[in-house]
Amino acid sequence: MIDKSGRDTPRFPPECEPGVARAINEQLAALGARAGDLALTQGACGADLLFAEALLARGASLHLHLPLDVQSFIARSVGFRKADSSIPDRWAERFDAVLAHPSVRATVMPTDFDAKQQTENIFERCNHWMLERALAYGPSKVQFICVWNGEGGDGRGGTDHLREAVRQRGGSECWIDIRPLCAKR
C-alpha cells in the first residue's frame, strides 16, 4: 500500500508511484498479459490499484476480492491518507473507477471463510481466500506479482504472508523490489 502521510519509515512514498506503475507495466508485458486474461487483487491503494489499472488497460478481466464490504474496505485500505498531504489523495476515486469498470467483478469474502486457516486476521483470511480461488485455475496459471521491499509489513496479512502462501502452493512469483524504484527519485 502507498504510505500514510507522516509514516516514520517510508516504504512506498507517493512520489514513487510513477516508477512503480512503470515497473508493473513492464512485468505485465514480460508475462504477455493481454485481453482474455484474468487477474485477482484486493484493490488497496498503491500497487493493487496500479496493477488493476494496468490490467484493465490491456483489456484483461479483473476480480476484486474484498475482505470487507466496499465502504469499510475503502475506509481501511484505500482512502486512509490524510487530506493535509501535499500530494492529492485520489485513491478512492481510482478505486471507484476500477470498481465501475465493465470488466471488473467484486466479491466480498464470505464471513465463514476461515475453516482451514484458523486466523482472526481478515487480511490473512482474504489472502488465503484469493489464493484458493486463483489456484482453482491450476497452480501453473498463478503468477503472483508483488511490489515489496523485502521486509515484514505493518501487520499480518500483508505481501510477505501472501508470497509465502503462493510459494507453498506452487504458484510463481514476480517480485518488483520497490527499494531501487524509490531510490531513483
> What is the CATH topology of the domain spanning 14-183?
Rossmann fold (3.40.50)
**104-108 and 61-66: which strand pairing?**
parallel
The mean per-residue pLDDT over the stretch 154-176 comes to 84
State the amino acid at position 43 in one-letter form: G
pTM of the predicted structure, to 2 decimals: 0.90
Q: Where are the domains of the chain?
A: 14-183
Phi, psi of 173 (to 5 degrees): -115, 135
Q: Which pLDDT band holds residue 84 (cuts at 50, 70, 90)?
A: very low
State yes or no: pLDDT of 118 exceeds 60: no
The mean per-residue pLDDT over the stretch 72-88 comes to 72
Q: Which pLDDT band holds residue 79 (cuts at 50, 70, 90)?
A: confident
Question: pLDDT tens across 19-72, in order?
Answer: 999 999 999 999 999 999 999 999 999 999 999 999 999 999 999 999 999 999
Question: pLDDT tens across 124-141, in order?
Answer: 889 889 999 999 999 999
User: Which distant-in-sequence residues (6+ apart) come within 8 Å of 123 by Cβ?
Assistant: 67, 155, 156, 157, 158, 161
Maximum pairwise Cα distance, the chain: 45
Cα–Cα distance between 13 and 48 in angstroms, integer? 15
State yes or no: pLDDT of 159 exceeds 90: no
State yes or no: pLDDT of 171 exceeds 60: yes
